[in-house]
Structure 1
Amino acid sequence: MKVALACDHGGFRLKEVIKSYLEELGVEYVDYGTYSEDSVDYPDFAYKAAKAIVEGEADRGIFICGTGIGISIAANKVKGIRAALCYNIYAAEMSRRHNNANVLCLGGRVLGEELAKAIVKVWLETPFDGGRHERRVNKISQIEENECGG
């Protein structure tokens, strides 16, 4: 699995922690920035990393801004992205099991490092359940097709 990482200045410190953690887990990643705590606009980095996922350059993504809200909104504007903002382990698990989320969004200013790592681990390891959930995810994709065009 290859993970696309993206953040703004508010998520930079946590992204660096997550990078080290991914290395510990043996998970390959590509860092799409930002690369410092200098103020930047999260949509720029969310878009770049989200495009990498939909174009097959990465399998999933972990995106981080101050709260995780803005970067999740931006990521979800890219056709084919299902970004889930998760503040706890249960939400991370369900975002994979029921929603087949391909992007995990985290809040760098609201999560402690250990909880963030636990969320990442569960999110990376949890499969999509399929079944009735696949039908629902397909309906989301159909809405996307209808509203955004093919």
Structure 2
Amino acid sequence: MTEQAPLRIVVGSDDAGLQYKNALKKDRENDPRVAHVVDVGVGSDEHTAYPHVAVNAARMAAEGKADRALLVCGTGLGVAISANKGPQQIAGRARAAPTVECDGAVRTRSGTTRTKRRPTAMTETFLA
């Protein structure tokens, strides 16, 4: 069996998915299967619309600058639709895509973020 080369991962989110994206990023930075992680936004002080973030991540994957992209927005659907506008991309929610995976993060009234899955569970089969 041949050993897989370390992966180049790009992560991105909108405001609603910021905490979840940061958790995904931290997990991937500590994963020996990952060479490096590039964060295309948003940052804690930014309010960039998710379509820009998703398209930038999809372009990086299409251009060979990243092997995988992990995108998070309020439902996961908006970033999936936006990423699919990029060339040669198939993006979807929850393990549906070979290159770009999207998930939702819902901000509650108290300001905390609730996610569908634990970050590690989201990416474990995605990186396999």
- For 1:107, which of 84, 101, 104 is the aligned residue? 104
Paired residue for 1:122? Answer: 125
Q: Normalising by structure 1, what TM-score?
A: 0.69
The Cα of 1:113 is off from its aligned counterpart by: 5.6
**Identity over aligned pairs, percent:** 31
| Structure 2 Cα separation of the partners of residues 63 and 119 of structure 1 | 11
Deviates more, 1:23-32 or 1:59-68: 23-32
Q: Tell me the secondary structure at the aligned position of residue 92 of structure 2.
A: strand
Matches within 5 A, 1:77-96: 77-86=85-94, 92=95, 95=96
Q: Is the 8 A contact 1:12 1:37 kept in 2?
A: no
Give deviations 1:104-149, integer Å, cap 9, x for gaps: 00112252562x3212111111xxxxxxxxxxxxxxxxxxxxxxxx
Paired residue for 1:52? Answer: 60
Q: Tell me the secondary structure at the aligned position of residue 70 of structure 2.
A: strand
Residue 3 of structure 1 pairs with residue 9 of structure 2 = yes
Any unmatched runs of 5+ in structure 1?
Answer: 87-91, 126-150
Any unmatched runs of 5+ in structure 2?
Answer: 1-6, 107-113
| Structure 1 Cα separation of the partners of residues 85 and 43 of structure 2 | 23
Q: Which runs of 4+ in 1 moved over 4 A?
A: none
Q: Normalising by structure 2, what TM-score?
A: 0.80
Q: How many pairs does the alignment contain?
A: 113
Aligned-residue CA RMSD in angstroms?
1.6
- 1 or 2, which has the higher strand percentage? 2
Paired residue for 1:15? Answer: 21
